[in-house]
Amino acid sequence: MRTPLVLAALGALVMAQPAVAQKTEDEARLVFTMGFSWTSGTSLWSVEDQPILVPGIGFDLIDLSRSITGGVGVLFSGMYFPKPSLGFVGEVFFTGVGLKDQCIIASPTPNPQTQQLCTSIDGSTKSSSAVLMSLGPVFRAGANQPVSPYVRGQIGLLFNNLSPISTSGTVVVNDPASGFDELLQYVVYDDPSNTRITVGFVVGAGLTSVLGKGWQLRAEVRDNLVQIATVAGPTGPGIDSPEIVNQWKNLWSIVLGADIVLEKKRGRRY
């Protein structure tokens, strides 16, 4: 009686082997990504009691602040995985953020021209074209599964051609010669260089999902830790060259992208 039962059990085990040891999914080894991102904003710098020169009278005081505004960006990257769980990535990230200023009168009885200047600065915005280029390792799990989580860490350089320092507004003055009013620019802070290259880091976590043959969907949350020039403090009346210091800023991003799998490692049969 036991022999038929043993044979039946062995037969069931043999029949189950193909289902257990079937072909695994392919592993993506060389991947090219194009993605879109939303990057959040943050405070950049603030200066209290900045003197504004009023010719023939003295000076008024204003409080200035500048923040980084969120925006849509794009990124391009390439990943290579020499091992199933370890890879390397090179990336170019166009951040798509901007700048926004705020101005508040600090003097109790300001000159009308100071009020005009502060009004022209308050709420003004500028678009940015900062680019972060970085390299680093990628660690993933479930490389041969339809959904694969991963983490990454990169170091690179931030290229910025929009000055985070330069600040100016407009005032209306009367020209005695012509008798007409003129709109003149008042420079609060001048910047010796509009182009800067600073250090940046990227720390991100996300997952990929297979869409079809040679395609993957990528979703990621990341922190872009970058150095940006800031105004250290107020200048003297009529002086437009502030002390400039680099500060670290966290720019959080959400990324949604599409992967083109250029090379795969085929799954095995057992």
Class of residue 93 by CB neighbours under 10 A (exposed 0-12, middle 13-18, buried 19+): buried
Over the stretch 50-95, which tens digit does the pLDDT of each residue have?
A: 999 987 788 999 999 999 999 999 999 999 999 999 999 999 999 9
Q: Which pTM value belongs to this model?
A: 0.81
Class of residue 95 by CB neighbours under 10 A (exposed 0-12, middle 13-18, buried 19+): buried
Q: Is residue 16 part of a domain?
A: no
When the pLDDT of each residue in the chain is averaged and rounded to a whole number, the result is: 87
Q: Is residue 40 part of a domain?
A: yes
CATH number, position 85? 2.40.160.20
User: Which helix or strand (DSSP H or E) is residue 175 part of?
Assistant: none
Of the ranges 131-135, 177-181, 221-225, 247-251, which one carries the lowest mean pLDDT score? 177-181
Q: Which residues contact 20 (CB under 8 A, 6 or more apart)?
A: none
Task: Please state, in angstroms and rounded to a whole number, the distance separating the CA atoms of residues 2 and 128.
Answer: 80
Task: Indicate the SS3 state at residue 182.
Answer: strand
Tokens of 191: 């910047």
Q: Is residue 158 part of a domain?
A: yes
Q: Is residue 131 part of a domain?
A: yes
Mean pLDDT, to the nearest integer, of 167-175?
85
The confidence score (pLDDT) of residue 182 equals 82
**Based on the structure, what is the number of domains in the chain?**
1
Q: Is residue 110 part of a domain?
A: yes
| pLDDT higher than 50, residue 111 | yes
| pLDDT higher than 50, residue 269 | no
The confidence score (pLDDT) of residue 267 equals 58
Q: Which of 55, 160, 41, 52 has the alpha carbon at shortest distance from 101?
A: 41
Containing structural domain, residue 34: 26-265
Q: Is residue 19 part of a domain?
A: no
* 25 — pLDDT class (breaks 50, 70, 90): low
The confidence score (pLDDT) of residue 68 equals 94
Mean pLDDT, to the nearest integer, of 178-190?
85
Q: To the nearest 10°, the Cα dihedral for 133, 216, 214, 265?
A: 80
Q: Which residues pair with 261 in a beta bridge?
A: 31
Q: What is the DSSP string of 69-128?
A: EPEEEEEEEEEE-SSSSEEEEEEEEE---EEEEEEEE-SSS--HHHHHHHHHHTT-EEE-
Asked if residue 43 lies in contact with residue 99, where contact means CB atoms within 8 angstroms, the answer is no
| pLDDT higher than 70, residue 3 | no
Q: Is residue 148 part of a domain?
A: yes
| pLDDT higher than 70, residue 9 | no
Q: Is residue 127 part of a domain?
A: yes
| pLDDT higher than 60, residue 33 | yes
